[in-house]
Structure 1
Amino acid sequence: MRILIVSDAWHPQVNGVVRTLTKTREVLEKRNHVVEVIGPDRFRRIPCPTYAEIELAILPYRSLVKQIEAFAPDAIHIATEGPLGMAARKYCTRNGLTFTTAYHTKFPEYIAERTRLPLSWSYAFMRWFHGGSAGVMVATDSLAQSLRDWGFRNLKTWSRGVDVGRFKPRPKDVLDLPRPIYLYAGRVVVDKNIEAFLKLKLDGTKLVVGTGPDLESYRARYPETVFAGYLENGHLASYFSAADVFVFPSLTDTFGLVLLEAMASGVPVAAYPVTGPIDIVGPHPEVGCLDEDLGKAVQGALGKSPEACRALALQYSWDACTDQFLQNLAPLRKPQPQASSATQAYDPAS
């Protein structure tokens, strides 16, 4: 099958969406599918407002159409709701082509946090965007239920995987820091609620791995925290396994691949009881602790079984993840003539 993926999140960006699409493409190609990913790197770009590390394509429609038609896909998947996603959706709807989408990021919550725009407005747009999809892929049951509550339909499961060969238990003496070591790994940005972790009064060492627009600000305000910056995969894996607890302060992620990477490394997880942690850690208290008080979650996670963490992570494979993706894809055919209720909810073109 010739599979086209259109995504506003792609290399050189480093985030969960890019990792998911990269690993999915790798597995698909090993199975002899032909996969093309169209990302912002192929277009003129501008920095994303408030997040310069992410670049957005400028007026991509005409060029995108040429690339789609040159590739001649059997199925089209639109991964994101940005300029490229909008352009791909426009092309598909204009030509009566089916397509699938994915809900990777809780943009309404991010936007509300930064601009105070009502959630109902942003979710109206998201319902419109995903309303024309033959299937909206979501990573967890709790996210699916949340979206149903907002009026989304036709939701399909697309879980996540972890490279258990790279992320695995290793000697902890690679880090000469006071213990316990509490690790956060991910983008250093206000959207990740990282300050809830940085404010905690904890014995031992708070360690932050990653980069982002708020790195220097946090480094200046929290000098007792060790900020390691960006690490390549080999070093990153050794830092994961060297930690005593992995702290995941986000309130708005839809999954959290780093949760699996930590558990594959034999490290228990401390998090809030929200989408992602509540789906992965919630049913398995032996691998971590969830609490509305993040400090209590951290203390509760200390000493949890590394073996149990590893065993749970082994249940998540990129092969199984890719099986779901393939099952959810829709061959290019004309959709049913009636408009969905989600499509009727909001249409900026009307």
Structure 2
Amino acid sequence: MRVLVATDAWHPQVNGVVRTLAMMAEAARPLGVDVGFLTPQSFRTVALPSYPDLRLAMPSPATIARLIGEARPDSIHIATEGPIGLLTRRYCRKRGLPFTTSFHTRFPEYISARLPIPESWIWAALRWFHGASQAVMAATPALASELRVRGFRNVVLWPRGVDTNQFYPRAIDLGLPRPVFLSVGRVAVEKNLEAFLGLDLPGTKLIVGDGPARAGLARKYPRAVFLGARQGEELAEAYAGADVFVFPSRTDTFGLVLLEALASGLPVAAFPVTGPRDVIGSAPVGSLNEDLQVACLAALTISPRACREFAAGHSWEASARAFIENIANARSLDPKGEPVQFAVKAPRLIG
């Protein structure tokens, strides 16, 4: 089976959406599924407002149609709600083709943090975008339930995974005063990093990542260490050399970095919100508290071995199998009929 994924987020961007799509595609190949991508690399791009290092594709309907025709996919999945996603949706609707979508980003909260646009308007636009999808894939049960409450139909689960061969505990000396409290991700206002950087903690606060807020935060918090973006082995070593992973975001839908940290033996400190609450659940691998300082200090007492063992149960193969089954279920539906209300439960793994 050939699946074409349309996405506005792609390399050289470094974020959870790109990593999820790339790792899923790699894991799907041995399962007999060829996942191809329709990405900004095929189009002229412009800098995204307030994110100058992110490029927004400027596709045309004719080019989208040509590229999809050349790919000859058996199924189409739309991963993002940007220009590529919109025109791919338009292509499918005009031809009566079924497609699936996934919900990765809480745009209502992100956009409202920058612009005076009511969140209700943005949620309405997202309901319209995903309304024609045969299956809307969400990373966690809590997010799936929230989407249904907000009026989204056909919500199914697509869990995430982690590469435990890349991220694992080891003795790494970062040359910083310990304990090292690490946060990894995009350095932007919606990540709520000031909730972490303003804490009175022993040792070192370490930020790995880049983004539009980095320069201002580095000036405001000169005692924190900003390493910039890291990938591959450099990123894995940053995890392994830390003591606690701090996740101050209140809006992330999942936070792939949580699994990477746990696989590296790092306990998690976070607010008790969707995302960290869904990933950790009742497992003794993190501390969730509305007082983030209390959470950080409590996390120091958690067993790194327990974190590693927890992460070992989340593989990219299982994630790919869930994605494939969601696609297969959607293909069995009549695209001209009313979308079917899927149950909010984990897909049965095929194979």
| TM class by smaller structure | over 0.9
Displacement of 1:333? 6.9
Does the 8 Å contact 1:74/1:332 carry over to 2? no
Unaligned regions of 5+ residues in structure 2, if any? 342-351
- The residue that corresponds to 2:217 in the other structure is 218
Residues 1:291 and 2:289 are matched in the alignment: yes
- For residues 74-89 of structure 1, the aligned pairs below 5 Å read 74-89=74-89
Unaligned 5+ segments in structure 1 are 342-350
User: What's the counterpart of residue 348 of structure 1?
Assistant: none
Measured against aligned partners, the alpha-carbon deviations of 1:311-340 in whole angstroms (never above 9, x if no partner) come to 110010000000000001133875143489
CA distance in 1, matches of 2:46, 2:193: 26
Query: Which residue does the alignment assign to 1:237?
Result: 236
Name 1:205's counterpart in structure 2: 204
1:110-189 matches, cutoff 5 A = 110-172=110-172, 174-189=173-188
Task: String of CA shifts for 1:132-165, please: whole Å, max 9, x gaps.
Answer: 0000000001111211221111100001000001
Partner SS state of residue 114, structure 1: coil
Task: Measure the CA separation in 2 of the matches of 1:85 and 1:119.
Answer: 21
Q: 1:312 aligns with which of 289, 293, 310?
A: 310
2:96 and 2:336 in contact (8 A); partners too: no
Q: Please name the residue that 1:6 is paired with.
A: 6
Equivalent residue pairs, number: 339
1:28 aligns with 2:28: yes
Question: 1:132·1:340 contact (CA, 8 Å) conserved in 2?
Answer: no
The answer to whether the Cα contact below 8 Å between 1:76 and 1:99 also exists between their aligned partners in 2 is yes
- Which residues of 2 match residues 102-113 of structure 1 at below 5 A? 102-113=102-113
Shift of 1:195: 1.2
CA contact 1:282–1:290 (8 Å) conserved in 2: no
The 5-angstrom pairing of residues 331-342 of structure 1 reads 331=331, 334-338=334-338
Deviation of residue 34 (structure 1)? 2.4
Q: CA deviation at 1:233?
A: 1.2
Matching residue of 1:346: none
What residue in structure 1 maps to residue 53 of structure 2? 53
Tell which deviates more after alignment, 141-150 or 126-135: 141-150
Structure-2 change in CA distance of 1:321 and 1:339 (3 Å): closer
Q: Which residue of 2 aligns with 1:263?
A: 262
What TM-score, normalized by structure 2, do the two folds share? Answer: 0.93
Seq. identity, %: 51
- Does the 8 Å CA contact 1:81/1:129 hold for their aligned counterparts? yes
Taking the aligned partners of 1:47 and 1:334, their CA distance within structure 2 comes to 39
- Tell me the alpha carbon deviations over residues 141-190 of structure 1, each in whole angstroms, 9 at most, x when there is no partner: 11112112211111000010000011000004x21211111000111111
TM-score, normalised with respect to structure 1: 0.94
Contact 1:98–1:332 (8 Å) recurs in 2: no
Alpha-carbon offset, residue 72 of structure 1: 1.1
Give the Å deviation of 1:29: 2.1
1:337–1:232 CA distance, 2 compared to 1 (3 A)? closer
Cα distance in 1 between the residues matched to 2:152 and 2:338: 16
- Per-residue Cα deviation, 1:266-320 (whole angstroms, up to 9, x for no partner): 1100001111111112321x21100111111111211201111001100100000
- After superposing on structure 2, the runs of 4+ consecutive aligned residues of structure 1 that deviate more than 3 Å are 336-341
Q: Is the CA contact 2:154–2:339 (under 8 Å) kept in the aligned structure 1?
A: no
